[in-house]
Structure 1
Amino acid sequence: MTTTTPVKRSGLRDFYEDPAVPVASGTPRSLRQARMLAAALGPDTGTTRTILDIGCGDGSAAATAAPLLPGHRLVGVDWSLDALRRARTRVPYAVRGELADGALPFRSACADAVLFSEVIEHLVDPDAALDEIRRVLRPGGHLMLSTPNLAAWYNRALLLAGVQPVFSEVSLRAIHGRPGREVVGHLRLYTARALREFVAAAGFEVVRLEGAPFHGVPRPLRVLDRLACARPPLASILLLHARKT
């Protein structure tokens, strides 16, 4: 299947500034991640903690998480001006920042937790991104990362059939060789094992890995997709909780 898009883009920055490119990961996924973070932070002790939503997109994930994290300060961060314009309608604080070396506009060890939802698969240099996240986290601070699973149950079958896996993209202009129509700019994909090893190598202790369903799975297969969440290596989406060591 080949689908073309009418929008001409000269590079990644132009791609992500295009309002037509999706910048939200979905409410059910955001709720799962927020519940994991709320459990990690523990009972409310009256202390206000700082939570950075890095790559906040339109702010919908932070807005979904906010009711589960009462009394804490949620700050959205993105480098897309269009995304920030939308995020500021949903979250009290949204600032521009990049995940290059020292480029986040925060001092070292200032954050108690980082939400990193559906971002790492879009990055040219994910190593530098985790280094920068580690810099802004306090010792013992929490990283809540989510990303599509290259080895999702249906991708294993698609590869056996010689079909490009779902979530993978070979072009910023069109979808080639796999089901789907939407180009979202995925550059890197992880299996559960690769994600664990990658995050651990960046100086984090992996605490927990869960699975989440994908809203793009055809309706007749959604029951199977939910069942696959019980085994994260087969799930559509990987939700990882790690701590800064």
Structure 2
Amino acid sequence: MTSTLPAGLRDFYEDPAVPVASGDARSLRQARMLADALGPAGATPAVVLDIGCGDGSAARAAAPLLAGHRVIGVDWSQDALRRAQSHMSYVVRGELTDGGLPLAAGSADAVLFSEVIEHLVDPDSALDELRRILRPGGHLMLSTPNLAAWYNRALLLAGVQPVFSEVSLRGIHGRPGKEVVGHLRLYTARALREFLTASGFEVVRVAGAPFHGVPKPLRPFDRLACARPSAASILLVHARRT
């Protein structure tokens, strides 16, 4: 899911080789936060929009925790939506521009916004659009890589490009890793909190999640870092529309 993409970026995100899934550990933690916020499904289930649903793997992992609620996948990429249909009952094509989502104002009780904001050219307009489709008091569950992850702090001190950051869509330069995923922006916990507040959301909670790409010997440290969200690999934010 992208907003107002130049042609080169559009081609990049429609390439089937570009990853459109992330780790289940992050998806499960985020789903638990949303399930706690929504509570059990009643006579009228909550409408949950998975904006930038990718291949639907996050919705698949969350499904047992969101039983009874209506989860709808939304993505710009046709290729991603084709794959998502095997995991989700409802998918819709839409773009995160002003009024670009084919959804009425105030029609959603909650939005899952997983690993999307770091790919956006215009995150300000994207948050405006999310605020438009959420009902007052509706929940935003956002996740994004942490620029200030514990290992990135050490890498920067050594003069190495931080993990998650990319300087090219054609290859990785100056940092560990081999996979190009199209990250355009990165956030710290403080920056993300301030950005959401300025965009008309009340931040309820910031939590941390591990990153599936951390080398196996370092994964225990990565899980421990989740206790301090500002140093965790992945930032999980629960915010509400004001």
TM-score normalised by the chain length of structure 1: 0.95
Q: How does 1:64-143 map to 2 (within 5 A)?
A: 64-143=61-140
Q: 1:187 aligns with which of 169, 174, 184?
A: 184
- CA-CA distance at 1:46 after TM superposition: 2.7
Q: Once the two structures are superposed, what CA deviation does each residue of 1:19-55 show, in whole Å capped at 9, x if it has no partner?
A: 1110012111111100000000123333211000000
Unaligned runs of 5+ in 2: 1-6
Residue 168 of structure 2 corresponds to residue 171 of structure 1? yes
Could you tell me how far apart the structure 2 residues matched to 1:175 and 1:92 are? Answer: 36
Equivalent pair of 2:41/2:69 in contact (CA under 8 Å): no
Q: Which runs of 4+ in 1 moved over 4 A?
A: none
Could you tell me how far apart the structure 1 residues matched to 2:221 and 2:63 are? Answer: 30
Could you tell me how far apart the structure 1 residues matched to 2:167 and 2:182 are? Answer: 9
Equivalent pair of 1:46/1:71 in contact (CA under 8 Å): no
Q: Once the two structures are superposed, what CA deviation does each residue of 1:41-72 show, in whole Å capped at 9, x if it has no partner?
A: 12333321100000000011111111111111
| Residue 42 of structure 1: aligned partner | 39
Unaligned runs of 5+ in 1: 1-9
Could you tell me how far apart the structure 2 residues matched to 1:47 and 1:95 are? Answer: 21
| Residue 57 of structure 2: aligned partner | 60
| Residue 14 of structure 2: aligned partner | 17
RMSD: 0.8
Q: Once the two structures are superposed, what CA deviation does each residue of 1:127-177 show, in whole Å capped at 9, x if it has no partner?
A: 000000000000000000000000000000000000000000000000000
Could you tell me how far apart the structure 1 residues matched to 2:100 and 2:42 are? Answer: 32
Identity of matched residues, %:
80
- CA-CA distance at 1:83 after TM superposition: 0.2
Could you tell me how far apart the structure 1 residues matched to 2:87 and 2:78 are? Answer: 15
- CA-CA distance at 1:193 after TM superposition: 0.2
Could you tell me how far apart the structure 1 residues matched to 2:188 and 2:202 are? Answer: 18
Could you tell me how far apart the structure 2 residues matched to 1:212 and 1:89 are? Answer: 26
| Residue 200 of structure 2: aligned partner | 203
TM-score normalised by the chain length of structure 2: 0.96
